[in-house]
Amino acid sequence: MPVDAQLKSDIEDFLYEEAALLDQRRFREWLDLWAADAHYFMPLRMTMASGQESEGWTQEHENSYFDDEKAILEMRVRQIETGVHWAEEPPSRTRHMVSNVRVQPAEQPGEYRVECNFIVYRNRMAMDEDWWVGRREDRLRRANGCWMIAERRIFLDQTTLRSKNLSNFF
Amino acid sequence: MPGDVEELVDDERALVSRRIFFDPEIYELELQRIFSRCWLFLGHESQIPGAGDFVQTRMGNESVILCRNARGEIRAMVNSCRHRGNRVCWVDHGRTTRFVCTYHGWAYDLDGKLVGVPGYDERYYGELDRDAWGLIPVPKVASYKGLVFGTVDPEAPPLEDYLGDARWALDYILDQRAGGTEVVGGVFKWVLKSNWKLGADNIMGDNYHAAISHQSGVMAGHSTVSRWQQRARRTNGSSEESARRRLGFTAPLEWGHGFMCDLQPEDAQLATGDDPLRMYYRETYDELRARVGDLRSRVWKINLTVFPNASFTTGSNMLHVWHPLGPTETEIWLYVIVDRDAPPEVKRLIRKGAQRHFGPSGFFDQDDMDNWEQSTLAAPGMIGRHYPLHYAMGLGHERWVVDGQLPRRIESIMDESNQRAFYRGWREFMSGKSWTELSQERAARQAAARRDVEASRAR
């Protein structure tokens, strides 16, 4: 059931603003978009045969790249702010592209399930380049006239990571 | 080349040539003289619990299938069809009865035996000797308390001999509870543009880098949440005082192995607190002490590298394996090891802490990656390549202790003696000497060391 066009447009605008905050490295303002009970999750992916693709993601009790409460996201921002986090010092240049946005109402009133595709490009120092491509499942919550991110599940289209780290937010 | 190789590591002055971190010829020699001769970590038994289970793993730059055959025996074979070389296993892991090549359909069983050849009678006239064309087996595969190792070299000593005194450290990791260990599902795998040796020598011997490389993680408030540190965190007084009273030593071993160990003082108390981890450690403490002994029950942390490329860090329950992709590229595989019998909540807390510590998203590992990458990028510089790297911290100041309680060790919380042991081992294997010759030289060294100790006692 497609949602109201205005609602979808509002949500897209929110996602674009969020992406801009990340690319401008305004991490504190980005953190303010996250609900207090937020969960940020990114499982590992493995190559499996047809028919077994569902087993190609690590489960909740298994290893993941991110399984973070808001406090951990804040700790990651603090690490960047120290100025001595060598993975991000000198700072990376990122570009977050968000597209293919699909919106559905969630179970809770005022919450929406938002799926999108993303490309995050990172350029570092002289010639260091990384591309991450994948899909996100967000749960957004409308509160006090603002959008908040209650949950983000990130599904990368890589098994072995081609990058030396994941020091950026998705 | 053999003569050259000996010069690349200067034992006396503890200098190492930058060439060994970028030279393609040296890399090719490493694949032959190190990765094709030493025991290499293949996987944990818990990854292949039942008959037919398999996982794709790596030895050096070779893709290897690790599996359990129909009788439940562990087998390892090269993942390459004997006909035209195509890989016969393309998925990460699974369960099967056959590996079938997608090119011409040759089929192999879980022992690597060639059991199916399309057109065997009509096209090969029944003449193909199937017994001679099975998947290349890894000739020696052995398990040490759940860790599966393999070696390409049939002359290699038994695994336990090869591990030697590294077992003192490994037993601490693997033997804590009667149920042994398992690995948490999912192996972190990522590519770093650096030479494989930088990680291996760092984990086993580098206490020096933590204050600078990892300061951002500490400043941000990250700390490891691990079973061993928690268990040993029996604090007396402030944590600064506790740190001051910890006893540190390095154990540079044979074959290039080595580990650093911190022990809590004898009067330290068992950790208090009623979070699930601390409760678990208190409840299992007596079992731990009965199994690994009083001394090892006081371990604060151990960082160990089993030469060439398997590095264990007890402070985060993890194992890094540094797989070489080329002279300046490494594929890092990272496992989380837990007690099999730990409750799910304990495993969850350990896993969360571990993946936040090391790995591509880890507060600590991230900062090592750029350092190693930039070191590797600099190595082939046309000017810099002629200047050796410095590994001499503590050289000549070693306070050796040989008391039979622990492996022969150096009392030190910070030096580069373990890195020196790693590159001595590297040079030994790169010399091309046989296992027999190397074993004889090793025995002579140990005899000389014993004589030195006796002489110093006599004085």
Statement: residue A158 has pLDDT above 70: yes
Contact A62 B188 (CB under 8 A): no
Indicate the pLDDT class of residue B454, thresholds 50, 70 and 90: confident
Tell me what the mean pLDDT of segment A63-67 comes to.
98
Partners of A61 on chain B (C-beta within 8 Å) are 185, 344, 347-348, 351
Give B32-56 pLDDT, tens digit per residue. Answer: 999 999 999 999 999 999 999 999 9
Alpha helices in B339-416 (DSSP H): 344-357, 365-378
Tell me what the mean pLDDT of segment B129-144 comes to.
98
Query: What is the C-alpha separation between A132 and B20, in angstroms, rounded?
Result: 32
Indicate the pLDDT class of residue B451, thresholds 50, 70 and 90: confident
Statement: residue A28 has pLDDT above 60: yes
Whether residue B53 lies in the annotated active site: no
Give B177-200 pLDDT, tens digit per residue. Answer: 999 999 999 999 999 999 999 999
Give B199-226 pLDDT, tens digit per residue. Answer: 999 999 999 999 999 999 999 998 765 4
Torsion, Cα of A27, A29, A33, A39 (10° steps): 30
Indicate the pLDDT class of residue A2, thresholds 50, 70 and 90: confident
Indicate the pLDDT class of residue B372, thresholds 50, 70 and 90: very high
Helix (H, G, I), strand (E, B) or coil at B213: helix
Reference B309, options B57, B90, B93; nearest CA is B57
Strand partners for B13: none
Contact B185 A62 (CB under 8 A): yes
Whether residue B83 lies in the annotated active site: no
Tell me what the mean pLDDT of segment B217-236 comes to.
66
Indicate the pLDDT class of residue B6, thresholds 50, 70 and 90: confident
Q: Is A20 on the interface with B (CB under 8 A)?
A: no
Tell me what the mean pLDDT of segment B72-101 comes to.
98
Q: Is B329 on the interface with A (CB under 8 A)?
A: no
- Entry pTM: 0.96
Q: Is B133 on the interface with A (CB under 8 A)?
A: no
Burial of B315 from C-beta contacts in 10 A (0-12 / 13-18 / 19+): buried
- Tell how many helices (H) and how many strands (E) occur in chain B: 14, 23
Positive or negative torsion for Cα A157, A159, A163, A164: positive
- The answer to whether residues B59 and B156 touch, using CB atoms and an 8 Å cutoff, is no
Residues 106-165 of A with CB under 8 A from B: 159-165
Does A53 or A95 have the greater pLDDT score? A95
Q: Which of B135-144, B146-155, B267-276 has the lowest mean pLDDT?
A: B267-276
- Which of B44, B109, B165, B214 does the annotation list as catalytic? B214
Query: What is the C-alpha separation between B150 and B182, in angstroms, rounded?
Result: 19
Contact B216 A82 (CB under 8 A): yes
Statement: residue B408 has pLDDT above 70: yes
Partners of A152 on chain B (C-beta within 8 Å) are none
Partners of A163 on chain B (C-beta within 8 Å) are 190-191, 360
- Which of B53, B109, B368, B415 does the annotation list as catalytic? B368
Does B295 or B90 have the greater pLDDT score? B90
Contact B184 A160 (CB under 8 A): no
Tell me what the mean pLDDT of segment B308-319 comes to.
95
Distance (Å) from the alpha carbon of A120 to chain B's nearest alpha carbon: 16
Indicate the pLDDT class of residue B230, thresholds 50, 70 and 90: low
Q: For A82, name the nearest residue in chain B, comparing CA atoms only.
A: B216
pLDDT above 70 covers a percentage of chain B that reads: 95
Q: Which residues contact B422 (CB under 8 A, 6 or more apart)?
A: B197, B200, B201, B204, B205, B256, B258, B305, B307
Tell me what the mean pLDDT of segment B391-407 comes to.
90
- The answer to whether residues B42 and B66 touch, using CB atoms and an 8 Å cutoff, is yes
Alpha helices in B129-165 (DSSP H): 159-163
Indicate the pLDDT class of residue B227, thresholds 50, 70 and 90: very low
Burial of A25 from C-beta contacts in 10 A (0-12 / 13-18 / 19+): middle
Indicate the pLDDT class of residue B92, thresholds 50, 70 and 90: very high
Indicate the pLDDT class of residue B236, thresholds 50, 70 and 90: low
Query: What is the C-alpha separation between B152 and B27, in angstroms, rounded?
Result: 17
Indicate the pLDDT class of residue B413, thresholds 50, 70 and 90: confident
Indicate the pLDDT class of residue A88, thresholds 50, 70 and 90: very high
Statement: residue B452 has pLDDT above 90: no
Q: At what angle do helices B417-430 and B435-458 cross, to 10 degrees?
A: 140
Does A83 or B451 have the greater pLDDT score? A83
pLDDT above 90 covers a percentage of chain B that reads: 80
Contact A159 B193 (CB under 8 A): no
Q: At what angle do helices B166-174 and B276-296 cross, to 10 degrees?
A: 150
Statement: residue B285 has pLDDT above 50: yes
Whether residue B209 lies in the annotated active site: yes
This model of the complex carries an ipTM of: 0.97
Statement: residue B402 has pLDDT above 90: no
Helix (H, G, I), strand (E, B) or coil at B398: coil
Q: Is B87 on the interface with A (CB under 8 A)?
A: no
Tell me what the mean pLDDT of segment B369-378 comes to.
97
- The answer to whether residues B408 and B236 touch, using CB atoms and an 8 Å cutoff, is no
Q: Which residues contact B112 (CB under 8 A, 6 or more apart)?
A: B75, B77, B134, B135, B136, B137
Find the CB nearest B369 among A43, A84, A164.
Answer: A164
CA distances, B425 to each of A32, B81, B170 (Å)? 52, 34, 19
pLDDT above 70 covers a percentage of chain A that reads: 99
